[in-house]
Chains A and B, each alone.
Chain A
């Protein structure tokens, strides 16, 4: 699958190599992509720069200052232990977003490899792998994650594995299809004909060939991963207190909804904005990379 850039059709129908910088600049003309990148970058900078933006330790309790509403002194107020929520939300993003990135990295890599292997070699092994993938896809996503979380028990890394398990069949299904498509393109056949080994062909030709699928899948799943990691934290199966993960903070705030709405509201706004941003990027990339995938 060639990567086509909207607005630059080559006259002879052949793909033209465009420098990466130009491609990025062209893609950024896409409105939703631009908006998404701005949102995600702002949140990422706020979260990563948390120690610079606030000097308050997110875990420091202050019994004299519980349930303070948002004020210039505590931008997002304080919680039941008098902890500063601004600090907790910014630091908490490191857990939520870091865990989500890890989910996509682990689940995406394993799923892509499985799909590529099944699609490239086919045969009995490929068939069995794909039937197993279908079986896992028969479970609604978060249900599967909860079942795995039940086996592994609570904890941040366990939560990461639980969500990553859901991504494996999803990636494998898409990448298998894409690999079968790329597998017999002339340049791949030519490489095989010239005597390249299977792994060489996979690494040099197949994986670059399905690159746009990987990018589109990753942007779709990064948002979902963030939502599910926070959901696990919210129901008490993810990060354990006092670690300030967004879902876990929401869980804290649930008990004080009537007297301190700010505890639950602020971490959710950050999470929602991050997911909106990632989805905007996903929409934009789908348009730019693969018009055929632009179904919805």
Chain B
């Protein structure tokens, strides 16, 4: 177990390093002088350009530049947003909460409804219910989230006045964006759970338990659902990544504050230090979630610990 933990920890550290290198390269790959790109509309000021060039170490080898940059990042110094006239770290801190809130709520919806839809479809497989719910799942999976968001706004905010069109605070403001964000994940999870449960139903120990007289519901809960939950747990990591990046689009649709809207606005304003920071933060959160899933997996399935 300790060896497994150390191996995973080493893996995630290497991954985080790799992610940071890719993110560091974003601004270096933008054509032209990075200092001028970062300054944006302030690039006309030669003194400012010279100061930033010096600060970024642009006349030094690229490895030195990376070390300088990552040293700052490790001290929560992500640079300065000349577009917003604020340190990038402040922008991140202000916008992290709403995004986490949205993602977490959507994740709960995804898991709960994905499980319900998938398990019930598997238990009634090849019935009309199965066809309809899997058709629904496929549709959820295929809907463009930004379009779905607009349609829900038209129906529930413009026509029915249940929610505010723009803004909306607290739980009420969270419902429409979270549902919009979650639907795709619900479709994906439901399909995955269904095949996972069907596979578990075919296992010999399930057939044996039924044959020796255990009730159907006891077999389902103890043997089928429990075993089919394991693979589902692994896709929680994947889903978190999808939801985090989906939030980027959803926040724009619903004009919600958050990392996603910060990122989109930064891209449009060519505010590259903010772009770098947001991409880094989201990718690291994704890596962290997958790491947690990895280390929790052997707790749920002791067979894994010996590998």
The answer to whether A231 and B283 touch (CB under 8 A), given A138-B18, A140-B245, is: no
List the A side residues contacting B252 at CB < 8 Å: 234-235
Q: Kindly state the separation between the CA atoms of A264 and B150 in the bound complex, as whole angstroms.
A: 7
Grouping DSSP codes into helix (H, G, I), strand (E, B) and loop, the A interface class, with mixed when no group exceeds half, is helix
Q: Kindly state the separation between the CA atoms of A151 and B252 in the bound complex, as whole angstroms.
A: 20
* Interchain nearest-CB distance for B9 vs A (Å): 16
Size of the chain B interface, CB-CB below 8 angstroms:
50
Asked if B264 and A235 make an inter-chain contact with CB atoms under 8 angstroms apart, the answer reads yes
List the A side residues contacting B245 at CB < 8 Å: 140-143
List the B side residues contacting A58 at CB < 8 Å: none
Q: Kindly state the separation between the CA atoms of A147 and B275 in the bound complex, as whole angstroms.
A: 7
* Interchain nearest-CB distance for A175 vs B (Å): 20
Query: Which residue of A143, A223, A257, A279 contacts B248 across the interface (Cβ within 8 Å)?
Result: A143
* Interchain nearest-CB distance for A134 vs B (Å): 8
A149-168 vs B, CB cutoff 8 Å, 1 = contact: the mask equals 11100000000000000000
Asked if A254 and B144 make an inter-chain contact with CB atoms under 8 angstroms apart, the answer reads no
Considering only CB atoms, which chain B residue lies closest to A283 in the complex? Answer: B138
- The reply to whether the CB of A210 lies closer than 8 angstroms to some CB of chain B is no
Query: Which residue of B30, B144, B242, B244 contacts A230 across the interface (Cβ within 8 Å)?
Result: B144
Asked if A271 and B144 make an inter-chain contact with CB atoms under 8 angstroms apart, the answer reads yes
Asked if B26 and A279 make an inter-chain contact with CB atoms under 8 angstroms apart, the answer reads no
Report the tally of A-B residue pairs with Cβ distances under 8 A: 131
* Interchain nearest-CB distance for B14 vs A (Å): 9
Q: Kindly state the separation between the CA atoms of A261 and B155 in the bound complex, as whole angstroms.
A: 10
Q: Kindly state the separation between the CA atoms of A236 and B241 in the bound complex, as whole angstroms.
A: 23
Asked if B158 and A276 make an inter-chain contact with CB atoms under 8 angstroms apart, the answer reads no
* Interchain nearest-CB distance for A31 vs B (Å): 9
Chain A residues 250 to 286 lying within 8 A of chain B, measured CB to CB, are 250, 253-254, 257-258, 261, 264-265, 267-268, 271-272, 275-276, 278-280, 283
Grouping DSSP codes into helix (H, G, I), strand (E, B) and loop, the B interface class, with mixed when no group exceeds half, is helix
- The reply to whether the CB of A21 lies closer than 8 angstroms to some CB of chain B is no
B78-96 vs A, CB cutoff 8 Å, 1 = contact: the mask equals 0000000000000000000
Q: Kindly state the separation between the CA atoms of A135 and B282 in the bound complex, as whole angstroms.
A: 14
Considering only CB atoms, which chain A residue lies closest to B266 in the complex? Answer: A150
List the A side residues contacting B297 at CB < 8 Å: none
Query: Which residue of B144, B264, B282 contacts A268 across the interface (Cβ within 8 Å)?
Result: B144
Asked if B143 and A237 make an inter-chain contact with CB atoms under 8 angstroms apart, the answer reads no
Q: Kindly state the separation between the CA atoms of A268 and B22 in the bound complex, as whole angstroms.
A: 34
B258-293 vs A, CB cutoff 8 Å, 1 = contact: the mask equals 000001101110001001000100110011000000
The answer to whether A138 and B19 touch (CB under 8 A), given A147-B26, A275-B144, is: yes
The answer to whether A142 and B246 touch (CB under 8 A), given A235-B252, A283-B138, A296-B191, is: yes
List the B side residues contacting A146 at CB < 8 Å: 248, 263-264, 267, 279
List the A side residues contacting B266 at CB < 8 Å: 150
- The reply to whether the CB of A294 lies closer than 8 angstroms to some CB of chain B is yes
Chain B residues 112 to 160 lying within 8 A of chain A, measured CB to CB, are 138-139, 141-148, 150-151, 153-154, 158
Q: Kindly state the separation between the CA atoms of A142 and B263 in the bound complex, as whole angstroms.
A: 12
Query: Which residue of A139, A230, A280 contacts B22 across the interface (Cβ within 8 Å)?
Result: A139
Q: Kindly state the separation between the CA atoms of A280 and B141 in the bound complex, as whole angstroms.
A: 11
List the B side residues contacting A254 at CB < 8 Å: 150, 253
Size of the chain A interface, CB-CB below 8 angstroms:
43
- The reply to whether the CB of B67 lies closer than 8 angstroms to some CB of chain A is no
- The reply to whether the CB of B15 lies closer than 8 angstroms to some CB of chain A is yes
List the B side residues contacting A271 at CB < 8 Å: 144, 147
Q: Kindly state the separation between the CA atoms of A265 and B282 in the bound complex, as whole angstroms.
A: 31
Considering only CB atoms, which chain A residue lies closest to B31 in the complex? Answer: A151
What would 30 A/B residue contacts be, using CB atoms closer than 8 Å? Answer: A135-B19, A138-B18, A139-B279, A140-B242, A140-B286, A141-B245, A142-B246, A142-B248, A147-B23, A147-B275, A149-B267, A150-B275, A151-B29, A234-B252, A235-B146, A235-B252, A237-B267, A247-B144, A250-B147, A253-B150, A258-B158, A264-B150, A264-B154, A267-B147, A268-B147, A268-B148, A271-B144, A272-B139, A275-B143, A276-B139
Q: B residues near A, CB below 8 A?
A: 15, 18-19, 22-23, 26, 29-30, 138-139, 141-148, 150-151, 153-154, 158, 165, 188, 191-192, 194-195, 241-242, 244-246, 248-249, 252-253, 263-264, 266-268, 272, 275, 279, 282-283, 286-287
